[in-house]
Every structure is written in C-alpha cells, then in structure tokens.
Structure 1
Amino acid sequence: MSELYPDCDPYGVADVLTEAERGPILRLRSVLESQIQPLLAEHWEAGTFPAEAVRRLQDLQLMHPPELAAETPRTLYHGFRIFEMARCDASIASFYTAQAGLFRTACRVGGSAEQFAAWDPRIQSFEMTGVFCLTEPEHGSDIAGGLSTAARKDGDDWIIDGVKRWIGGALTADYLCIFARDVADAQVKAFLVPREAEGVTLEKIHGKTSLRIMQNAHITLSGVRVPESARLQNCNSFKDVAAMLRVMRSDVSWIATGLQAGAYEAALRYTREREQFGRPIAGFQLVQEKLARMLGNVTASLSLVSRLAEKQQEGAYRDEDSALAKMWVCSSMRETVALAREVAGGNGITLAADVARFHADAEAVYSYEGTHEVNSLIVGRAVSGRSAFV
C-alpha cells in the first residue's frame, strides 16, 4: 500500500511522486477534508456551488506550487492533483480543471507565445478565469463537422453569433473561450469573449441529476463583437482544437479514477461501520467480493492513467492513448460506483453515505469529453487502420 493512499493504492502507484510533489497534494487534502467536504451534501442537494471553495483552492497555488518553484511541475503531479480533488468530489475537480486544464490548455495550445506569456500568470493566480466553450445544443460528438457558431470579420473586429451548451463554470468566469466557424474559410477559430460583453446571455441549466454542484450554462451569442487581439492566433482549424482535446481528455480520465477511489473508500468506510446479523457487513463474503472488484478497478485505472501521464511527460501525445484511457477508465468507474451504492444498501441512495453523490456524478463524467462510443472508434481506427466514423 502507498503511504499517500493506503486504502485505494495497493500497488503504490503514487509512490513515484517526489516529496516536493506530495507537499501540495497533502495541503490540498487538508483543505478538501476540513473545509470543503463538509459543504458538499448541502450544496449537491440544493444544486449550488460553494463559492468559498473557490477561494480556498485559489490560495493553494496548485498550478505551480511553491514546493516546485524551481522546476516545471510534471504531468504526473497534475494528474494526482486532479485525482485528489475527484476523490473528494467530481464537481470540485471539474470546476478546477475547467480553469487549470481546459482554459489554460486552450490558451497555451491555441494562443501565440506572446498571448500565453501575457495570460498565464493571471490564469495561474485565478486573476483571469475562463472556460472552454465548444459543445452546442445540437452538436456534441459531431462537433468537428457540425459546429454552427459563426464568426465573421468586420474591419479589425470579429462578430460572433451562435449558441453553446453544458459549459461548466461559465456563470462566474471572466472569459468564455468560444469556438466558432469563420464564415470566410469555414475553419474553426477560437476567441476569448468577456462574459459580460454586449450580446452575451447566460442561463443556468436546471433539472440536472448529475454533477449538481457544478453550474452548467446555456450561452447565447448575438452579434458579439471582439477585437482581433481576442482571437487565439494558433487556432485556425479543427485540427488545432483536436490538439487541445488530445491533452485535455487525459484530465477526465484522472477525474474518473479519483471518483472511483472516492466511491470505493466511502463504501469501505460504510461496510466497516454498518452492522447486520450482529457484525459489520465488511466481514461478509459477498460484500468482500464486491470490495475486491472495486479495488481492482481503481488499481487498474490508476496504473493506466499514471502510465499515460508518463508518456505525455515524454512528449508522446496520441489521440488513441487518451481515448483508450477515457473509454476504459470510465467503463470501470461505472461498475465501481454501482457496486459502492450496492454494498450500502438502501442507505446508498442518501447523501449521508457519500456513495450516492459519486454514483450520480459518474454518469456525467462517463459522457463528457468524448462519449464511450466516440473514444472506442478513435482507438479502433488506430489499431485497425480503418476509420468507422461516418
């Protein structure tokens, strides 16, 4: 068992983290357990986001922590940072990753060197917050060819019209990274649009049964005008967007892995405390079989995403690698959270037992950043040499 995760990391995958890398992870854990975890059930039921959690996470300086001031944080550190958050709550992890992963990656990959140099210090400090706005009401999996939000050049400015949906964190972000199709050349480009710009309308999406803490928005853009300087200079086609997704998809795999770990640990605690027939149910054979399957899923998922992080650290970014991780880890996650809810019995559908939150939130994680089917086809294309996309 690893020292960092004694209950859910029997092979010691986290042992490869250096002492300097463990420091910010442990600081994060302390804040999550003492200041954020107690808020989650109330906010999940109300469908609200704990604003105080944002401030507490900002203060931790996790993107480039002081412990790693003399070096560039490794991909593996970034992964375990996500894992630790998702082990507490998927919405918290998704919110933070929207800034540290999606928005920051869009600016780094899509922006010019000059743009990123100007923006990144402010992104890291949360002085400049933003979200990634790609999905549309009628276009998710087919967004590459179906993206309908339009941008047209008007002198030195761009005018954007269209609709985006399911954009997490948009209601409080400073900037919306809007992907739109240039009417002149039909290529997809990206723009940083101020949330309060004239012509931008945001509506909170209600009625969700998953990721209820995360605030998702429906965004309408009507004649929104932005200057050329707001366009990400290195995003000039959907191939450039795909390069961003290639990096981002692995973040979701880490969220799914951490969510599994949180569900398993919650189930383990419950079975140790819950008594039936005069003894804790953790001592029953059928319960132990389910615990073993959950732990196997968590261990395999953690091993897979850690190896993927090592490959990416070496500069190997392949669509099929991140797609395989997202596809397989999320499938395992679904089984893990179902088993966690199962061993908690009727109490497994209440927020008090914790497993219900993980069980419900897993469904959103399973679908976003590429469905199981789309990721399967990306992997299938790579291994067969033939595309099955239509």
Structure 2
Amino acid sequence: MSTAPPTDLLGYWDELLTDVEREKLRSLRALLEERARPHLAEWWEAAESPAHLRQELAALRLEDDPALLGDDGRPSPFYIGFKHFEFARFDLSIGTVYGGQVGMFRTVVREGGSPEQVAALDERIARFEYTGCFALTEPDHGSDIALGLATTATRDGDSWTITGRKRWIGNAAISDVILVIAKDAADGRAKAFLVPREAPGVSLTEIRGKIAARMVRNADIVLDGVRVDESQRLQRIDSFRDVSAILAQLRFVIGWNAAGLQTGAYEAALRYALAREQFGRPIAGFQLMQEKLTRMLGNATATLALAVRLTELKARGELTEVHAALAKTWAADRTRETVALGREIGGAEGGRVETDLARFFGDAEAGYTFEGTHEMNSLIVGRAITGLSAFTR
C-alpha cells in the first residue's frame, strides 16, 4: 500500500499535511482496505449500506483527536480536504455514509445550534453516538428549494407541528434524527428541527433502483403533523440565508471529492490495464491505452490542484459562491470524462463491478448532481460573468 496518493504529482500530500495528519489518513486507508475492500462489489450490487463501519471509523478519531486540532479546536482545512479525497478515492457511498454525519449533519448542528445545544450534541455526533441526516430537498423542489420550500412548521406554545415531504435524504434510514428544514407558517422564514426518526407521523420509503451511490440509503420522507418541542429547534437558524451560509462552509470540499473519485477510477483502470493481456502483452503497453490513462491522470491532477486552491481561499475567508460554482461544474465534467475513459479501458469488463470501473462510472453521476447541478452552477457563474441573471425571465 502506498504512503501517498499515487496521482499527487504536485506533492500536496507532503507539503500541506503534518506527520500526524498523514498517519491519521494512512490509518483510514488501512481500515478501508481491510474491512471494506473485500466486500465492495457485493455491497454495491446489493445496494447494502455498510453502516456497521461507522463505529470502526469513529474509533479512528478522524475528527476529534486532540493531535489534529488547531487553536480553533478544529482540524486544518487541508486535512479535511484530504480526508474527503481518501473516502472518494475508495468509495463515494462509504464516504457519504461517514461524511453525511460528521460533515453535513455535524456542521449544521454546530453552526446552527445554540451554545447549549452544541455543547450537548457535538461530541456525541463526532463519536456517532447521536446520528443524523440533513433533510432539505423535496419531491417538487431541488434547485429552487430556497424559494419553493413547501414543508411547513406551525408553532403552538412550546412545540411545533411539521407537515411536508422530503426526498433524496441520504442516511435517513440509519439515523436517530432527521434535521428538517421547514418554513415557519407565521413568518415564512426557514427553521431547522431535530426530528426523531421514530416520531409519530414520520414515515420513510427508501429509494431503490439507483445507478449511483447505491450503498447510500436515500429516502422519501413524509412528515404528517409531526410534533417537535421548541428545544429541538436549532436556535441560530432563522432564515434560508442562515442555512445557505452554513452550507457554504462545506463547498470547498467539492474539488476534493471529485479529485478523489477520479483518482480511484484512474488507479482501477491502471491496475486493469497492467493485468489484462491482449495480443500477447498487457494492454497498458498500447498507445491508445496510454493516451487514455494520461488524460485520466491529467484530469485528476488538475482537479486536485483546483481543490487545493479553493481550500487556500477558504482558509483566508475569500472563497465565494462563484469560485465554488465554477469549481463544481468544471470538476463534475472532468469526473464524467475520467470515469468514462476508465470504463473504456476495461472494455466489457469495465461494465462489471468487480473491476471497480463500473462502480466509479456509476457513482460519478451522483457527484454530477449533488452539491448543485451542472446547470444551476453554470447559471451562478454566468450571472457573475455577464451581470445578467438567467434564473428568471
């Protein structure tokens, strides 16, 4: 097993990470290779979530080991980026099973909760003792959710009644609580609630038949007059602007996920090309194969470089919506191209999960859509370029 990403031609691993951070990521890599690699194809084909790995991953203390924490009590953004890279390089679904908890859910609670709520929940979330998922999108509202939020919350004394539906909610079936974003019926502003998954009025239907992120248990959620105490409302979220500001803190990892997924596809294609023989020699020795591998490596390297630059801007407080949107739309395109080249190298075998090429090929479609679709991110950049908004007519 290598000690640094083989595609890190520009030396970011050695330059940007401390010895402690590199060793922590090596321990992650070792656990994934030992505990997940033998079962990946089986889990993916059966759409089985490896939720049992969460406690083993939590035991690595990837988030809260004191040796990782800076003066602000948090790991460095470059370590966080490389952690996302490592998960995506191995498997996007496992990265989501883990990251949906300690990335999305933890960040929204940490930034949106009151100091008392954060003190009570933050460490438990990091240890996977209190699990949650983030429920924002709805059956009829994805890209337009900011203006189209249909799930409502009506206050009655010290409790709220929540009614509505949520769709494509990852990890919902394996979480203790669902962090629901709903519109306050009184003032029309977005609020956030910690809704127990087993609460009366909550029903989940898992989304099946997916071609991407098959090990993530996405769900349709119906909230039918669900009662939630005021104490379960995150006290520092009082508008959709608050939600957007929190989610913006996570946008810098877009490039890291894309670079990791491309790296995994490249490594799988290279392994296959070196092992597969045609006309008496490995296909890796043919010009056409080497050209494809070179393009894959170039895409992965360029995307990693972009991820590093976005992280630098994040650390300086200069990362903008336009930076993130341009990075997402460009990196998603490169990812699609990279995994397609890998599948081509595999020929017919590239369509089989056992070679890993089909898994990366399918999972790239999930990355192409979440974190904002290609079209919506293009409109964000287009508005900045031209000064004209194409969102409305």
Scaled by the length of structure 2, what TM-score is found?
0.95
More displaced stretch, 212-221 vs 7-16: 7-16
Alpha-carbon separation, structure 1, partners of 2:240 and 2:190: 5
Letter in 2 for 1:172: I
Q: Offset of 1:306 from its aligned partner?
A: 1.4
Q: Offset of 1:187 from its aligned partner?
A: 1.0
Q: 1:30/1:115 Cα in 2 relative to 1: closer, same or farther (>3 Å)?
A: same
Alpha-carbon separation, structure 2, partners of 1:70 and 1:329: 29
Equivalent position of 2:9 in the other structure: 10
Alpha-carbon separation, structure 2, partners of 1:98 and 1:3: 26
Alpha-carbon separation, structure 2, partners of 1:19 and 1:251: 22
Alpha-carbon separation, structure 1, partners of 2:324 and 2:336: 18
Q: Offset of 1:3 from its aligned partner?
A: 5.3
- Find the residue that maps to 2:294 and give its secondary structure: helix
Letter in 1 for 2:224: S
Alpha-carbon separation, structure 2, partners of 1:384 and 1:113: 42
Alpha-carbon separation, structure 2, partners of 1:226 and 1:30: 42
Alpha-carbon separation, structure 1, partners of 2:261 and 2:366: 12
What CA deviation, in whole Å up to 9, does each residue of 1:326-382 have, x standing for no partner? Answer: 111111000000000000111000111111100001101110120011111122223
Alpha-carbon separation, structure 2, partners of 1:307 and 1:334: 21
What CA deviation, in whole Å up to 9, does each residue of 1:260-310 have, x standing for no partner? Answer: 110000001111111111111111111111111000100011011111112
- Contact kept, 8 Å, 1:151 with 1:159, in 2: the verdict is yes
Equivalent position of 2:27 in the other structure: 27
Alpha-carbon separation, structure 2, partners of 1:317 and 1:122: 30
Q: Offset of 1:254 from its aligned partner?
A: 2.1
State how many pairs are aligned.
388
Alpha-carbon separation, structure 1, partners of 2:115 and 2:317: 19
More displaced stretch, 70-79 vs 367-376: 70-79
Alpha-carbon separation, structure 1, partners of 2:69 and 2:112: 25
Q: How does 1:111-150 map to 2 (within 5 A)?
A: 111-150=113-152
- Contact kept, 8 Å, 1:131 with 1:175, in 2: the verdict is yes
- Find the residue that maps to 1:171 and give its secondary structure: helix
Equivalent position of 2:176 in the other structure: 174
What CA deviation, in whole Å up to 9, does each residue of 1:27-80 have, x standing for no partner? Answer: 000001111111110011111112332222121111123532565310110111
- Contact kept, 8 Å, 1:377 with 1:388, in 2: the verdict is yes
Equivalent position of 1:64 in the other structure: 64
Scaled by the length of structure 1, what TM-score is found?
0.96
Equivalent position of 2:52 in the other structure: 52
Alpha-carbon separation, structure 1, partners of 2:255 and 2:319: 15
Alpha-carbon separation, structure 2, partners of 1:117 and 1:379: 38
More displaced stretch, 320-329 vs 376-385: 376-385
Q: 1:274 aligns with which of 250, 263, 276?
A: 276
Alpha-carbon separation, structure 1, partners of 2:31 and 2:320: 35
Q: How does 1:102-117 map to 2 (within 5 A)?
A: 102-117=104-119
Q: Offset of 1:190 from its aligned partner?
A: 0.8
- Find the residue that maps to 2:250 and give its secondary structure: helix
Q: How does 1:64-83 map to 2 (within 5 A)?
A: 64-68=64-68, 72-83=74-85
Q: Offset of 1:167 from its aligned partner?
A: 0.6
Alpha-carbon separation, structure 1, partners of 2:218 and 2:108: 19
- Find the residue that maps to 2:225 and give its secondary structure: strand
Q: How does 1:241-260 map to 2 (within 5 A)?
A: 241-260=243-262
More displaced stretch, 48-57 vs 295-304: 48-57
Q: Offset of 1:251 from its aligned partner?
A: 2.9
Unaligned runs of 5+ in 1: none
Letter in 2 for 1:249: R
Identity of aligned residues (%): 54
Unaligned runs of 5+ in 2: none
Q: How does 1:1-390 map to 2 (within 5 A)?
A: 4-5=4-5, 7-15=6-14, 16-68=16-68, 72-390=74-392
- Find the residue that maps to 2:211 and give its secondary structure: coil
